[in-house]
Chain A
Amino acid sequence: MVIVQRKELTFAERLYLPEIFRGLSITFSKFFEKPITRQYPEEPLPTDEVTRGQPRLVVKDDGNIACVSCGMCEIACPAYAITIDGGETDRQIEREPKRFEIDMLRCILCGFCEEACPKDAIFMSNELELADTTRRGLVYDLEKLKRPKSALQPRIDYVYRINKRWRSKQP
């Protein structure tokens, strides 16, 4: 048990109203300062290439997906969010994903998939918003994950810059 010793109020404080007005003066002075909060859905947070948002798949300039479904991101994913089934193509690169699913409810946005990818096919985009009315709708498939390379270029350049020790040349 703790006995709380209340502070003895002074005469000025016991007058009550002066203290009320002193408090309100702080409140009213804030009306004239620059707000530090943000009207979130209308005013989204600014993002840059350092933002580690949701993973997205690169579609190369020739229109083909960069992913070859090697399964490195699948095995690197600590949350088991990624499922890939490969298949054969007629292109020079013989393999491409037939099914590529990221369960965004499982994804913890750690970026291991980006680090593991040997083909520069998956990058953490600056997309942050995630909402749906069903769980199934948050399991993103190939169509929901594909992004043109130009949209991810700032992040690709950034990743090369910070990892230049082992990621030497961009394809």
Chain B
Amino acid sequence: MSQPTTPTPSDKPATIKIQVDGREVEADPKQPLIRACHDSGVDVPMYCYHPGLTPVGSCRICQVEVAAAPGQPSRVVAACRTPVSPGMVVQTDTPKAHETRRECLEFLLKNHPLDCPICDKAGECDLQDYSFNEGQGKGRSSEPRRKLEKRKSLGDVIVLDEERCILCSRCVRFFQDVTHKPQLTVSGLGSRSTISTFGDKPLTGNYQGNLADICPVGALTLKPFRFQARVWNLSKSLSTCAECSRGCSITVEALRGKEVKRFRPRFNAQVNQYWMCDTGRFAYAPVTQPLAPAGSALGGRLAGAAVRGYGGLELVEVEPALAEAADILAAHPKPLVLLSPFATQEEARAALELCATLGVAARFVSPAPSALKDDLLNTGDPCPNRRGLTELGLAPVEPAQARVELAQARAALLIGERIQELLEPAELAKLPAELRLVVFDVCAHDLPALDVAVGAPTHVEKSGQWLNIDGHVGVLNVAVPPPAGVGPLERTLRELRAALAPSAATR
């Protein structure tokens, strides 16, 4: 999106001073009042307001008491549609403000079904939270709740529950303001209003998943995540999306700390704002691969290491496998070393040290850009750490060229997550069996040339850094533990270097 900018004093927007709950705070005159309240640490509830979208003031839950100046008469206004003015006195915690919010909530809850036990949003639902804070315990309405469609499919990604919808129109504005291709609208009148697509066509585009994030209630839910987990059982870790060189900041959410269930965008003003694309959002198949069946190195994650014996790949401990790899690399001068573009800076540095010991130059596999490129977030470049690896002095190499060089090499070392997928296992299987191939990857493929395979963690199982296309640091954290027997790739590389040159490896 935007180029990185370092704020300088002159860049800073001119601020004005207003009073919020008795404290003098600075406010940006271009932003609505609710932003000034949130920035000063005052919690004003919101449903229709979203900091990334145009405010419309349709839900009225953000009402606060405002006076033009101290001593002036005050009135209750919607904070998301009120501009700030100098000397304004804002009170969010008065009986009058609470009363208007309570009345507003009563209207919103009039038709909202009581299916929190079933709803996927329960636990991260704004309506639940504010009802608990501001609402009343009992409903006064004796009318039945409206009956609408509970399971309306809006394309491949999103399911709409019309009963739960509170018509905040965040989803409508998302397509207007963010993707600039309007696809949703509020149709119908009064209590029969519903969210619908134009002509009831399914939603299109690569950004539909964001609707489930911005929906303040459980009306829009993700099909792949539907009923998969209760959100309070998800452990959340800060991470970076791996699917393109944009490197969107994400949260990896794992059920009971073990099984990755969801990737969600995390606010990063300089990279992805509040959004992420569906390609990255649903890219958890590579990190939820099952383990290889017991006693086998193939057909799943490689936990530990495998070396080629007389009967094919045999599972061994990591240490003898690294000794075997060191023998192969020492016996064949100038082996070919290729890195995965998923390698972190830390892994790349360890690989460069190893290459210095071997006396060769390391390069990284750089597949051609995909057709997923768009003008919003996705760069189409499937190398999340292209910039970082380039800055460390690694040259890119096309997969086709890499395979040609592999076919001519006598020994080769492939390092990092998904490197075999990027080089295409079917093509790698055609490599001559004389090639001595050492692979550090998350799984081992059935390649005739493969001599040593050592398991590596996926990007949700390791900590490290990537540099995105604009040079922003994307942080990776351990979200789920790697399978038993899989250590950090840096350590594997250092151990290999120590096995190759015991005197050179001081660490």
Listed in ascending order, the chain A residues whose CB lies under 8 Å from chain B are: 68-72, 74-75, 84-88, 92-95, 118-119
6 extra A-B contacts, CB within 8 A, seeds A71-B232, A86-B230: A70-B117, A75-B232, A85-B229, A88-B226, A94-B227, A95-B118
CB distance from A73 to the nearest CB of B (A): 11
Residues A70 and B118 in contact, CB atoms below 8 Å apart: yes
Interface residues on B, range: 10 to 19
A119 to B116, CA, bound (A): 11
A118 to B117, CA, bound (A): 7
- Total A-B contacts with CB atoms under 8 angstroms apart: 37
Chain B interface helix/strand/loop/mixed: loop
Residues B232 and A87 in contact, CB atoms below 8 Å apart: no
Candidate in B226, B229, B230, B233 with the most chain A CB atoms within 10 angstroms: B230
Interface membership of chain B positions 267-282, coded 1 if the CB is closer than 8 angstroms to chain A and 0 otherwise: 0000000000000000
Residues B232 and A119 in contact, CB atoms below 8 Å apart: no
Partner of A87, one of B151, B227, B230, B233: B227
A94 to B230, CA, bound (A): 15
List chain B residues, Cβ under 8 A from A94. Answer: 118, 150-151, 227
Q: Is B122's beta carbon under 8 Å from chain A?
A: yes
* B259 nearest in chain A by CB position: A85
A74 to B123, CA, bound (A): 14
Residues A93 and B230 in contact, CB atoms below 8 Å apart: no
Residues A86 and B122 in contact, CB atoms below 8 Å apart: no
| 17 contacts across the A-B interface (CB closer than 8 A) | A70-B117, A70-B118, A70-B122, A71-B230, A71-B232, A71-B233, A74-B233, A75-B232, A84-B230, A86-B227, A86-B228, A86-B229, A87-B227, A93-B118, A94-B151, A94-B227, A119-B117
* B233 nearest in chain A by CB position: A71
- Residues of B55-101 at the interface with A, using a CB-CB cut-off of 8 Å, are none
List chain A residues, Cβ under 8 A from B151. Answer: 94
List chain B residues, Cβ under 8 A from A118. Answer: 116-117
Residues A70 and B230 in contact, CB atoms below 8 Å apart: yes
* B151 nearest in chain A by CB position: A94
List chain B residues, Cβ under 8 A from A68. Answer: 117-118
* A88 nearest in chain B by CB position: B227
Candidate in A69, A71, A75 with the most chain B CB atoms within 10 angstroms: A71
A69 to B150, CA, bound (A): 18
Residues B226 and A72 in contact, CB atoms below 8 Å apart: no
Partner of B117, one of A72, A85, A92: A72
